[in-house]
Structure 1
């Protein structure tokens, strides 16, 4: 089922707060598969992120823009998502993405949750007004990290809520295996597949409300997605990083090389079968989630 078509009536509103202790954060992450850290990035940093990626877009689609096969009259053709900007050190956007990928504010939280980690992916979403959402999915269906799953750090570059297509998450869905997928409703979702949820799971969906600078950390098997941006004047920009525990020994080749945050070195591990860019995965069963 798509996030946009089936969870509106049931979605709760999230009112999460930062956990005061590292122990509380870890316990919440393992219980729910998702935690929210408030005000990680400053207004000045956020303005630099916005200006940098808008400037990169104004230079043209270039090598960062991911081909999502949208029609030329789709707003997302004008505002494509950028994938792996950190691999382009010849650009300001690339340098900025790489810098934030290894930022100790993010890495220290990631490593408190999953242990020593590698950076695997960077993405930037513009999600302009009227843009479609993204059907419910699990990130490790694409990354195929094993035996330990991935973790996302989803940075709100603008305020994000139900109106402009903020994230929906299903807490505790990380206790499931990576689920089979089915076709998504592409009138509501730019991605063409969605998880096939067991009965009753969609009713547990939570609509997040994030302020610019907040960061949502979630497990690679946590089901999440978003509604369309129904506003006329609000972007929902986000900068996203995926990490994998260094205990993982394979990942889909699209994500190689990995980055070791503490020294910035590039690292290669074994290639996993299948996988692909996040939200473009096919309908085959993946690996089970980490239970660290």
Structure 2
């Protein structure tokens, strides 16, 4: 176990909020120049139009013909595997210290993603991340870094407070006019989705069982870019096989058993990462 407050600059109130609500927003964790460095980095990657194993983008007009601007701005999966800056930010000591405080133990990094969400893009139906990561025992935790200011207009993230106590649901089919992903879970009775309003550089941390998602970007000219990483605690024994290799804070590969079989719904063994 680690000292929950060591190096993380979190208060006891912050820890209580995470434990009771399932999420925590850390304001201004990354400075404007750091956010700009990430923005430039991913713009340069996107300009390549295709990176095997990471993304493939259609020309904008072709994407529009096919009915989704996101086909021109697809999410980038595991950019840390092909891009040094992505690895550096995934393992940033400030993020790792906060994770250690929230987990009560050292974190291990499993995944990075970059989402573009341009104006007119669909949202992401409500879901739970550990349906995909399949961390056992325990759960995963997300660090969702806003690269642009994110609010309800441009498709900012919603979370369902206190849903970390809910079991992992078997999802049903999402509305394709609202969500670019196919899985959707229900909001439990008595709970309500809450918008998170973030400024660029803020980081939202949330438990892997927390129900969350977003709605379409209805702004005229505002992207909602985000750099998102997922982690587990070092005591985890298994994780979905799609996430190896895993890394400790020193950037060293750590081994865990692959969680290769199907989970409670019999389908998530084929999933390609949280949506």
TM-score interval, smaller chain = 0.7 to 0.9
What per-residue deviation string (whole Å, max 9, x for no partner) do you get for residues 150-177 of structure 1?
0000000000000000000000000111
- 5 Å-filtered alignment, 1:45-60, equals 45-60=34-49
Q: How far, CA to CA, are the matches of 1:61 and 1:165 in structure 2? A: 25
Shift in CA distance, 256/20, structure 1 to aligned 2, threshold 3 Å:
closer
Aligned residue number for residue 167 of structure 1: 157
TM superposition shift of 1:279 = 4.0
What is the CA deviation profile of residues 207-260 of structure 1, one whole-angstrom value per residue up to 9, with x for unaligned ones? 111000000000000000001000110000000010100111000100011011
Report the alpha carbon displacement of residue 24 of structure 1 after superposing the two structures with TM: 1.8
Deviation at 1:198, TM superposition (A): 3.2
> For 1:107-136, what per-residue CA distance to the aligned partner results, in whole angstroms no more than 9, with x for missing partners?
000000101110000000000010000000
TM-score after normalising by structure 2 = 0.88
Listed as ranges, the gaps of 5+ residues in structure 1 are: 1-18, 89-93, 281-292
Partner of 1:226: 214
User: CA shift at 1:277, angstroms?
Assistant: 2.6
Encode CA deviations 1:21-60: one digit per residue, 9 max, x unaligned: 4322211111000000000111111111111101111111
1:166–1:236 Cα contact (<8 Å) kept: yes
Q: Distance in 2 between matches of 1:66 and 1:174?
A: 34
Classify the secondary structure of the residue corresponding to 1:124.
Answer: strand
Corresponding residue of 1:8 = none
Q: In the alignment, is the contact (CA less than 8 A) between 2:171 and 2:184 conserved in 1?
A: yes
The count of corresponding residues between Structure 1 and Structure 2 is 252
- Contact 1:82–1:123 (Cα < 8 Å) also in 2: yes
Mapped partners of 1:243, 1:66: distance in 2: 25
1:102 to 91, 114, 129: 91
Aligned-residue CA RMSD (Å): 1.7
**SS of residue in 2 equivalent to 1:161:** coil
2:258 is the counterpart of 1:264: no
Q: CA deviation at 1:200?
A: 4.1
Q: Is contact 1:41–1:213 with CA below 8 Å preserved after alignment?
A: yes
Q: What is the Cα deviation at residue 20 of structure 1?
A: 7.5
* Equivalent residue in structure 2 for 1:32, among 1, 8, 21: 21
Structure 2 unaligned residues grouped into runs of 5+:
1-7, 58-62, 263-267
Which runs of at least 4 in structure 1 moved beyond 4 Å after TM superposition?
Answer: none
